[in-house]
Structure 1
Amino acid sequence: MAVVSIPLNAVAYQSLSVPLSGHVIRLEVQQRSTGLFAAFWCDGVACLSGVLCQNRSWLARKAYYGLPGDFAFVDTEGTADPDYTGLGGRFVLVYEEGRNA
């Protein structure tokens, strides 16, 4: 399976929709005092919310959440957990189809 990079900006809150695996995936990324958190929708249906984002840790993990694949943040310069200041640069969000099956 191919790994796809999802473009993000270095802002504390953002929402975007991307076509992935034949579905429209909406994701929100929000920086809080306790870390970076994500929420996901697939074709308009809420799948996951309040997911803590950590370096190289898959976010969905199980297919029964309704996502066609899985997402993870990767620190390209070390092993730190992501924060909004490095989004789109140091911290890259990747997607892999079928990863959570």
Structure 2
Amino acid sequence: MSSAFFTISSTTDLVMIPLATTAAQMLKVTLSGQSVQIALRQRSTGLYADFWLENNRLLSGILCQDRTWLARDEATGLPGDFTFTDTQGTQNPTYEELGSRYLLFYRVGWL
């Protein structure tokens, strides 16, 4: 997957996070040398994310929207930011097509 969907510099590294097509899931990934845990859950009002770094919850209840950064600020304590991309349009993600139509990317560091 290319970074053509994003309006960020071509020197920015994006890492795709593998997702399952389940309404509630918990992932543990090593990003920028740190253990990051991500919880995703589908609600009637959208898909929501929670983030932990080294077992410390940093963000909760973040609404996942197409091409919108989720953490948005270095002050969150995360080593970078996350965003979903709809590969077939501009819809907000739903669990039924996570990992295929809706991809989650991690951006190393902060702009």
Task: Give the TM-score taking structure 1 as reference length.
Answer: 0.96
Superimposed CA distance per residue, residues 33-74 of structure 1 (whole angstroms, 9 cap, x where no aligned partner): 000000000111111000000000000000111100000000
**Structure (1/2) with the larger strand percentage:** 1
2:60 to 26, 46, 49: 49
* Number of the residue aligned with 2:16: 5
| Aligned partner letter, 1:6 | I
Moved over 6 A (4+): none
Q: Give structure 2 stretches of 5+ with no counterpart.
A: 1-11
CA distance in 1, matches of 2:27, 2:93: 18
Structure with the greater alpha carbon radius of gyration: 2
Identity of aligned residues (%): 50
Q: CA deviation at 1:2?
A: 1.2
1:70 to 57, 60, 81: 81
Distance 1:62 1:13 in 2: 25
The one-letter code matched in structure 2 to 1:52 is: L
